[in-house]
Amino acid sequence: MDTELMDEPTVQQLPNLLKEWMQNEAELKALSAEIREKRKKLALVRTMITKIMKQGQIGKLNISTGAVVNRVKQTKASFTKKFLMDALTSFFKGDAKKAEECAAFLEQQRPMKKTETLALEAKD
């Protein structure tokens, strides 16, 4: 069933829509498992190549489609509650009460994001 250009869905369409949804969910689950396995293998091979390049002090490997280069990129870590409290306590020169108040204020100001999903609950 092609649901892309559907007008207003009706109750009569519900059984077919549920069947299609369940089938797509099952396919996605199988594909996701396959992708996870491929990513694990890719990470392992990447680690091995990087290790060999470092040991041999190889900065660049020329291949037929271009070159393989080991690039190092630094990114900032995510904001965890512990990090935020430590940083605010430091900012407020050891005043944990002010740090807690500031963290609570920031937590209250965070916007909420609403998402709707369908879930299949297994029979008992």
* Pair 49, 68: CB distance under 8 Å: yes
Q: pTM to 2 decimals?
A: 0.56
Give the tens place of pLDDT for each residue, 88-122: 999 999 999 999 999 999 989 989 998 887 777 77
- Residue carrying structure tokens 């609570």: 104
Mean pLDDT of 3-28: 87
Listed in sequence order, the residues at least 6 apart from 120 whose beta carbon sits closer than 8 Å to its beta carbon are 22, 25
7-11, 38-42, 92-96: which range is least confident on average?
7-11
- Residue carrying structure tokens 């190889």: 58
Listed in sequence order, the residues at least 6 apart from 61 whose beta carbon sits closer than 8 Å to its beta carbon are 53, 67, 68, 69
d(CA 71, CA 15): 52
Domain limits of the chain? 11-72, 75-111
